Copies of this chain bind each other. A is one copy, B any other.
Amino acid sequence: MKLGANEEYGLRCLVRLGYAGEGGSLTIPEISHAEGVSPAYAAKILRILRKGGFVKAARGKEGGYMLARAPESIVIGEVMDVLGGRLFESSFCETHAGQAAICTRSVDCSVRSLWRAVQVAVDHVLSKATLRDLLQNEEEMNAWVRTIPGPSGLRLMQ
């Protein structure tokens, strides 16, 4: 259960575009330099974001990338799905069944319930966060996290 590179860099590139402001655009070299990744890799990530509908591209001279929608309408959970898939995919039990056709407890599996609970907990945070929330500084972000109902928010600063 690890965060992937696409998720980290993809989100950072998206935040970087958000900083460019409404209608502002950045080129691949600019984003590459700002985030410290190679231009080729930035291009690969931006392509994923474009196919996900979060950014749009303008080609040719004076081209570049810009947000496809307003930051407050870009839900981070959806971005994460595109960049790295879900934690517990619906096909997970089928693809991790080993030699059997499916987990031998498939009709009654407590492990599956646990995965679902973890997925719900993650979604609870990521479905409430929008790109707008990430465009503030770290301290304001921490304050935002505390507004999430339930212990997830309350316990962050321990």
- Give me the interface of A with B, judged by CB distance under 8 Å: 1-5, 7-9, 11-12, 15, 34-38, 76, 80, 84-89, 92, 96-100, 103-104, 108-118, 120-122, 124-126, 129, 133-142, 145, 148-153, 155-156
Q: How many of these chains are in the complex? A: 2
Q: How far apart are the CA atoms of A151 and B148 in the complex, in Å?
A: 10
Set B15, B87, B116, B125: member contacting A111, Cβ < 8 A: B15
Q: Identify 15 residue pairs between A and B in the complex whose beta-carbon atoms are under 8 Å apart, listed by A's number.
A: A1-B87, A2-B4, A2-B89, A3-B92, A15-B110, A36-B99, A37-B99, A110-B133, A110-B137, A113-B138, A113-B141, A116-B156, A118-B126, A149-B151, A150-B152
Contact between chains at B114 and A8 (CB < 8 Å): no
Q: How far apart are the CA atoms of A135 and B136 in the complex, in Å?
A: 44
